Structure 1
């Protein structure tokens, strides 16, 4: 795992890059969040390919638990990926609602993450 720091308009952004899965459960997400929080990052960019598929199955409630942790720490999160491949209206509605706010966003490419 590699953390690429970015600075945009005074906001410290951590882009997390890996060839393997980084988040397979809520505890791993929390550990990553805390590590980046104490490095004084304001925002995290994760790639959809590095998050377990269970996150995108809303029945597991994993997405809600992880996003609540980011909210509690007031850490913005952007997930970059192709979300059209996931079936179901619930996930699409969830992504739509998240993208209306500024805490959590789902985007198609890195350029949109900034």
Structure 2
């Protein structure tokens, strides 16, 4: 089951996805969620890493790139919240670091951090 918490900050409609299980198992799942929220008028999406398959974070399989490209195509900002400080994979650590230098896709610790980043 999934619920959407709506946040409106500086006229930006932000959807915070709240769930009890993994929602995104495949790129098609990501596209379905993205399209659903996009057509509801959301500009930005916050989702916890626990709601995304662990395969997303194994960069060698290309799933992260495929999913994140969909967000770029729709021009919807995404923040994945979770524990990224203790990442041991160098490639994932570099990916998170490079993503966080931009504004479109970010990996942050908390919903409060995400809301602050998305409100700019």
**TM-score (norm. length: structure 2):** 0.92
Query: What does residue 87 of structure 1 align with?
Result: 88
2:22 matched residue in structure 1: 21
CA distance in 2, matches of 1:44, 1:82: 18
Instruction: Name stretches of at least 5 consecutive residues in structure 2 with no aligned partner.
Output: 116-120
For residues 33-65 of structure 1, the C-alpha deviation after alignment (integer angstroms, 9 at most, x for no partner) is 000010010000000011000000001111000
Q: Distance in 1 between the 2:5 and 2:17 partners? A: 6
Deviation >6 Å, runs of 4+: none
Partner of 1:103 in structure 2? 104
CA distance in 2, matches of 1:107, 1:84: 9
- Could you tell me which residue of structure 1 aligns to residue 7 of structure 2? 6
Shift of 1:84: 3.7
Whether the aligned pair in 2 keeps the contact of 1:56 and 1:86 (CA below 8 Å) is no
Give the 5 Å matches for 1:28-67: 28-67=29-68
1:52-104 alpha-carbon deviations (Å, 9 max, x no partner): 00000001111000000000000000000012454211000000010011100
Q: CA RMSD in A?
A: 0.8
CA distance in structure 1 between the aligned counterparts of 2:86 and 2:62, rounded to whole angstroms: 19
Distance in 1, Cα, partners of 2:6 & 2:70: 21
Query: TM-score with structure 1 length normalisation?
Result: 0.97
Q: CA deviation at 1:110?
A: 1.1
